[in-house]
């Protein structure tokens, strides 16, 4: 179990190698947020104090996904690249969709259905859209393997949190 930053760096290395097929979930369990990033037989499980701060306190680990059923029809999580012109057009179309949530969701889904981009292939002039992010718990709640990992991450994160934020002891 490592600090969340190290685990995310490990994920980004794997993502850069092959950005396709990743799925991303968030879930709130107790006082912390859980993040699951999964592809085929490997994944990352992180527990962080907040998803609303730029530098959350967190712990995480790489996990084996052995025989676990994950929804396959979800678009791959990742970064979708826009050139400057594409971004302007995209924002213009979304502006025209104001008030029509269904139409706006179709526009966003169309972009999300594109293959994810490696971060190293993105030019400095463009922009990135990240997603999609699913809500909930991706595993069978009865699977004790992931429950054990969850308890261990929570224990380590509570210790780290109390050390870094003594006012919460």
pLDDT for 91-138, tens place per residue? 888 888 888 888 888 888 888 888 898 888 877 777 888 888 888 888
Contacts of residue 118, Cβ cutoff 8 Å, sequence gap at least 6? 15, 16, 19
Q: What is the pTM of this model?
A: 0.80
Mean pLDDT taken over the chain: 83
Six token digits for residue 167 = 């006012």
29-to-8, 80, 108, 119, 135 alpha-carbon distances in Å: 20, 29, 29, 31, 12
Q: List the one residue out of 71, 7, 13 whose CA is nearest residue 44.
A: 7
**What is the predicted pLDDT for the residue at 18?**
92
- How far is residue 37's CA from residue 121's CA, in Å, rounded to a whole number? 22
**Residue 80, class by beta-carbon neighbours within 10 Å (0-12 exposed, 13-18 middle, 19+ buried)?**
buried
**135 close to 27: Cβ distance less than 8 angstroms:** yes
Q: List the one residue out of 151, 112, 104, 166 whose CA is nearest residue 1.
A: 151
- Residue 44 pLDDT grade (very low, low, confident, very high; cuts 50, 70, 90): very high
**What is the predicted pLDDT for the residue at 17?**
93
């Amino acid at each position: 179990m490592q600090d969340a930053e190290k685990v995310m760096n490990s994920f980004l290395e794997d993502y850069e190698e092959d950005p396709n097929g990743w799925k991303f979930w968030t879930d709130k369990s107790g006082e912390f947020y859980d993040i699951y990033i999964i592809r085929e037989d490997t994944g990352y499980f992180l527990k962080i104090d907040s998803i609303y701060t730029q530098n959350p306190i967190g712990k995480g680990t790489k996990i084996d996904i052995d025989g676990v059923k994950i929804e396959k029809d979800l678009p791959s999580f990742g970064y979708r690249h826009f050139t400057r012109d594409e971004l302007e057009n995209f924002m213009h179309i979304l502006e025209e969709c104001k008030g029509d949530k269904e139409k706006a969701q179709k526009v966003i889904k169309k972009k999300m259905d594109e293959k994810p981009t490696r971060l190293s292939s993105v030019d400095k002039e463009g922009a990135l859209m990240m997603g999609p992010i699913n809500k909930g718990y991706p595993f069978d709640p009865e699977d004790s393997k992931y429950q054990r990992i969850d308890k261990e991450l929570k224990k380590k994160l509570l210790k780290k949190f109390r050390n870094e934020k003594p006012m919460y002891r």
